[in-house]
Structure 1
């Protein structure tokens, strides 16, 4: 069964992101999965841990209520298409992994990848740009029309994937003078430094 999220809400999600693309479509379907399994959009204490920084995160922010600003959308730079959703109040959650065989079974995947490279580099012809747009639309349609179990493998999670966000003390960097969260302060040569000043001092980093 295809996506069950209202079309008007999908259009608002696209407007929030700025354009439509396969990555955003994945995020819409992920959010749909989290809403179905956890009612994450109504949860009092939701959290999402994303193992990538792809376009899907904008859909997750818009549709689930998990956001960077609230500290309940956490990015772990693992380079994987894995997303863990958890309801701290209900003490239940799951990790969803986008299935590579769905991606690899897309007949236009290889061509689209090459065309996207050309478009990004500014070397694509008008015909190649048009073909790229057509293939992107086909990839989006394929994602939006698929069953959720065709798109993701899901494993239950019984413990929170991250600790709740905390408000920490700020310490003044002794080089630039800017206030810095204490968990990001580094000590070097007897001084307390922010990360950029520390990196400027310690060239090995």
Structure 2
């Protein structure tokens, strides 16, 4: 399963993520495609920007392969529940969108049934071992499959978001904890954090 001929070996993803799974394999391929299409090494600061539309295991792989992270501000999460990923090169203005053509289960039809059995109340140790075997097999298939079999890859026109900014912190007047000023809310003329904010509603 090692991909030493690629940008970063898959073992680095596994080391970071903690285990091998179809999601991390998928994210590895996505990151690999993005770098090849945009002709970039791993991200230098915010030169490469990733917009991801799910919070699955694939995100760990994308961070390792591309260097895009939430902490640096060049990984933006949109909770759309879609296996779709858009990468932008700030230097060239190019952008590419990579989306999964079909369900991961379609790559290995035995996977869904094995997963359901392994997580059922009646699952035996043998069922769990079989699931791990099929999960590894599916991960290997994803790593080795031709790009066009798995993904739709297209050049897109995107408006680039501004680079990450550092905001001042202010103190919440209710809990006393510090909060970035752009996330603070005003309640009765005082600054409060989001958890302390009582949103007005007449419903």
Name the TM-score class by shorter chain: 0.7 to 0.9
Normalising by the residue count of structure 2, what TM-score does the alignment of the two structures yield? Answer: 0.87
Q: Which is bigger in relative contact order (C-alpha 8 A, separation at least 6)?
A: 1
Alignment of 1:39-188 (within 5 A): 39-42=39-42, 44=44, 45-100=47-102, 103-118=105-120, 124-188=123-187
Secondary structure of the corresponding residue to residue 51 of structure 2: strand
Change (3 A) 1:116 1:71: farther
- Residue deviations 1:40-74, cap 9 Å, x none? 33554110011001111111111111111111011
> Counterparts of 2:189 and 2:7 in 1: how far apart (Å)?
58
Unaligned ranges ≥5, structure 1 = none
| Partner in structure 2 of residue 27 of structure 1 | 27
Query: CA shift at 1:171, angstroms?
Result: 1.8
Runs of 4+ in 1 over 6 A off after TM superposition: none
* Unaligned 5+ runs, structure 2: none
Aligned-pair distance for 1:172? Answer: 1.4
* TM-score under structure 1 length normalisation: 0.86
Q: Which has the higher helix share?
A: 1
Shift in CA distance, 153/17, structure 1 to aligned 2, threshold 3 Å: same
Whole-Å Cα distance in 2 between the matches of residues 4 and 150 of structure 1?
A: 22
* Number of residue-to-residue matches in the alignment: 198
